[in-house]
Structure 1
Amino acid sequence: MRVIFIVLTLLLAGKDSRLQTSASSTDLNIWRGGNIKPFVYHKGSVTTGEFVTKEMIEKYKEWGVNLLRVQVFLDKSSSFFESSRRKNRKKHNSDGSEDESEKLEDTYGRYLQGLDSVAKYCRDLNIDFFVALHGVKHRYDEPENLYTNMKEFWMMIANRYNSNKNLIGYDLLNEPNTEYETKNLYHGKKIFDQLINDIREVDTTRYMIAQVTENGAPHGFKEIRPLEDNKVIYSFHFYEPHQFTYQGMKGLKSSSTDYPGMIRPDNSNEAVYHDKEELKRSLRAVRKFQKEHNARILVGEFSAVRWANGADLFLKDAMEIFEEWEWDWTYFTLYAEWNGWCLTVSSDYEDEYGFISNDITNNRFSTVKSFWNKNKKD
């Protein structure tokens, strides 16, 4: 009887490879990487950019990066572009400007072209990558079509890159933040479970990366449940406290705080002394979920604006926590259309442009690179 049970177990495992691998935090060595867009910020052309080159990916590998999170948006030339933007969530495009016959390849346009190149470079240079969906048509004005529009994108991606040995997974939706998404990604219509089942028809081996609700913030782990698939990596973004990491931008233009120091938490009007222990406290919900469900965790984005006093110390403390708790991480960002997060730009607020260089001396770059170097030792 015992022999029959073992044989049946092996047969079932062979029938569905999802039964063979779990996404526990001890599956693999830690991924330590960074975020990129498929085309890069450069002087004089912020909106159009240049496609990422093989030389750039070679430089990332030289620095020790072993994973790239490649962000994909709708192309600005797409007739659906406005419907994908958060600021237009209350606006329904009814002026007939959208072209329903537009091909999906055109909807994502240069991002998809750039992704084709990045995928090839990663394969040639043996550096892992995954695709992160940042733009979905009608995400904010027709949420009832979210599943259909996401499925359309992910089936295209899974079919397009399934043969690439360095593709490790699919980051299903960036920073879930609407009421509809909160109610239906993990619960309600269970959109994430549906999408994963769809993708599994094409790809049975790669990780499904699911960001938490609440805009991808750490406390979003309080609102989710484990998904049905057992090869899921649960992801969040870490910018807390925003009064420090976002100072000088958006609604915090007059904010100026140091780390470590007295900083107002996101959920309070009273300043609290922030140091490594306080950062740990802000991550308790993530750690609790990880331990309760033996979950693999990815910090998909984390950063502090380059001019923040103590940004290098904040990054060091954050990465030490990630390492201690065996979390994968991808720094935000290696390159972007806005230079405030870029490691290759100096910490001078007035320094507008930055490029890959062999002479990068700012403390943020040195700090993050020292952690990337661990990839060479693992």
Structure 2
Amino acid sequence: MKANYVYLVLYSLILVVVGSNPCFAQTKSGMTFSAHAPLSAEPKSAFWQQQRKGANGDIEQNPDQWFKAASQAGIEFVRLSPTKLKGQGRDFLIGNADNFTDIPRQDLARLKAALDSAAKYNVRVVLTTFSLPGARWRQQNKGKFDYRLWTQEKYQQQAFSFWKKLAAELKNHPAIVAYNPFNEPYPARKDNLSNEDHAAFDKWLKKHTGTAADLNRFNRRMVAAIRSEDTNTPIILDGWFHSAADGIQYLTPVDDKAVLYAFHFYDPWNYTTFRINKGRFSYPDKMPDGWDGKTEAWTKADIEQRIQPVVDWAARCNVPTSRIIVEEFGCNRRVSGAKAYLEDLIAAFNAKGWHWAFYSFRASDWDGMDYELGTKPLGGKYWAKREKGVPHEQLVKRRANPLWNVFSREFAK
């Protein structure tokens, strides 16, 4: 009896260490713990057992035409956010992010019709949302981040209820191959924490573990809510710091056989963003060295260095490559060196065997990352017509070009 008691005490101590350490990292005794079982052989999980190459997109204009174009381009899957769509209430699918009660039937019918188009053209869909109850998308919230989801339990419960209801409706749809419950979570942003000060974040995380601001707790509960209705569809979870590559190291894996883990890559931001770059930086010879305008030359090793946290975390947590996805990546099509930058990113992701989805395919209202347009500006006539209300898609001419060929070659393999 005494021996059993000692064993239970030691086992409890191990659980404390495991529970407080993201991805159950190696303990001082050398013990490791993995919560990961192999993906099942069921069709939706099987989709992710080999590397998949896709794109981000929206369905604001003509879903049938859009999915047909995606299929013709060879895109295997689309990470789709319907958040921009005009809903029956203020917020599409949610009704009202201030108080979710049920999914508006009109919104659900519109989403299902779009998914039917995806299935028609054999394009698989990862469904994500940029808004949740208590976390209205900033672009629909007067430019302000909505932190209620990360501070109030009632909004977490509403978020779980929303996805539980949505999963019940979509679990048998043939186009759906994964749910991505929330894009780029930001619970630490309210307290001005970022990935620039990991020591400060370590203290913050210790203080907020077990609260509404704890993304790992949120993920566990979200997966449980979805699994109460849908036991089969894979779930993709974003990491800390708006899904930054070095934010994934703070994720604690969820004990589920069909969960994938995601990060986004737009590094460095002041190079990839045209309005910030302003012609100052070029890949690979004149890349920003910090934020003071200084430059440095990059090699492929610089890209490897920035994705190394993902590699290290996956190795430490026994997460196979089939469960890692570069959920978004890209750069403005007009920044200097965009083609070489994208080529080197894709080469790095392919070498790891990670799934990836570029941003974005034929965005309905923005040309910045519409790579089919090449590298030239659209010109004054385009913008004059846009100001008169003419849709983007009616004004652009798409053609093969060296920038788009970076992606088309990959989809042709």
Tell me the residue number matched to 1:232.
Answer: 259
- In the TM superposition, residue 75 of structure 1 has moved relative to its aligned partner by 5.0
Give me the whole-angstrom Cα distance separating, in 1, the residues matched to 2:125 and 2:102. 25
- In the TM superposition, residue 173 of structure 1 has moved relative to its aligned partner by 1.0
Tell me the residue number matched to 1:52.
Answer: 63
Match of 2:51 among 23, 30, 51: 30
Give yes or no for contact 1:38–1:115 (8 Å, CA) kept in 2: no
Larger radius of gyration: 2
Tell me the residue number matched to 1:173.
Answer: 182
The verdict on how the C-alpha distance between 1:180 and 1:127 changes in structure 2, with shifts beyond 3 A counting, is: same
Give me the whole-angstrom Cα distance separating, in 2, the residues matched to 1:185 and 1:287. 28
Give yes or no for contact 2:287–2:297 (8 Å, CA) kept in 1: yes
The verdict on how the C-alpha distance between 1:267 and 1:199 changes in structure 2, with shifts beyond 3 A counting, is: farther
Give me the whole-angstrom Cα distance separating, in 2, the residues matched to 1:244 and 1:188. 29
Give me the whole-angstrom Cα distance separating, in 2, the residues matched to 1:356 and 1:31. 31
Whichever residue aligns with residue 372 of structure 2, its letter is T
Give yes or no for contact 2:101–2:158 (8 Å, CA) kept in 1: no
Give yes or no for contact 2:55–2:77 (8 Å, CA) kept in 1: yes
Q: Which runs of 5+ in 2 are unaligned?
A: 1-35, 136-145, 191-204, 383-391
Q: How does 1:218-297 map to 2 (within 5 A)?
A: 218-248=245-275, 252=276, 254-264=278-288, 270-295=294-319, 296-297=323-324
Q: Deviations over 1:173-209 (max 9, x none)?
A: 1111132897557947711111111111211112110
Give yes or no for contact 1:128–1:167 (8 Å, CA) kept in 2: yes
Tell me the residue number matched to 1:149.
Answer: 158
1:122 maps onto 2:118 in alignment = yes
1:158 maps onto 2:176 in alignment = no
Please report the TM-score for the alignment, with normalisation by the length of structure 1.
0.76
Give me the whole-angstrom Cα distance separating, in 1, the residues matched to 2:317 and 2:343. 27
Give yes or no for contact 1:80–1:138 (8 Å, CA) kept in 2: no
Give yes or no for contact 1:186–1:224 (8 Å, CA) kept in 2: no
Q: Deviations over 1:25-46 (max 9, x none)?
A: 996221101111121xxxxxxx
Tell me the residue number matched to 1:88.
Answer: none
Tell me the residue number matched to 2:77.
Answer: 67
**Where do 4+ consecutive residues of structure 1 move more than 6 Å?**
22-26, 355-358
Give me the whole-angstrom Cα distance separating, in 2, the residues matched to 1:220 and 1:339. 29
The verdict on how the C-alpha distance between 1:362 and 1:141 changes in structure 2, with shifts beyond 3 A counting, is: same
Whichever residue aligns with residue 262 of structure 1, its letter is K
Q: Give secondary structure in 1 for the equivalent of 2:128.
A: strand
Give yes or no for contact 2:129–2:183 (8 Å, CA) kept in 1: yes
Tell me the residue number matched to 1:346.
Answer: 374
Whichever residue aligns with residue 372 of structure 1, its letter is F
1:133 maps onto 2:129 in alignment = yes
Q: Deviations over 1:91-145 (max 9, x none)?
A: xxxxxx9985875327xx76x5553223112222222111012112321252313
1:364 maps onto 2:373 in alignment = no
Whichever residue aligns with residue 123 of structure 1, its letter is A
More helix by share: 2
Give me the whole-angstrom Cα distance separating, in 2, the residues matched to 1:80 and 1:192. 26
Give yes or no for contact 2:187–2:215 (8 Å, CA) kept in 1: no
- In the TM superposition, residue 58 of structure 1 has moved relative to its aligned partner by 2.1
Give yes or no for contact 1:344–1:355 (8 Å, CA) kept in 2: no
The verdict on how the C-alpha distance between 1:327 and 1:169 changes in structure 2, with shifts beyond 3 A counting, is: same
Q: Deviations over 1:253-311 (max 9, x none)?
A: 63531111221256887533223221111111011112222321111111110111111
The verdict on how the C-alpha distance between 1:99 and 1:233 changes in structure 2, with shifts beyond 3 A counting, is: closer
Match of 2:233 among 196, 202, 206: 206
Give yes or no for contact 1:241–1:265 (8 Å, CA) kept in 2: no
Compare 195-204 and 261-270 and name the one that shifted more: 261-270
Whichever residue aligns with residue 331 of structure 1, its letter is F
Q: Which runs of 5+ in 1 are unaligned?
A: 1-17, 40-49, 85-96
1:104 maps onto 2:103 in alignment = yes
Tell me the residue number matched to 1:21.
Answer: 39
Q: Deviations over 1:229-268 (max 9, x none)?
A: 23211001110011211122xxx16353111122125688
Q: Give secondary structure in 1 for the equivalent of 2:241.
A: coil
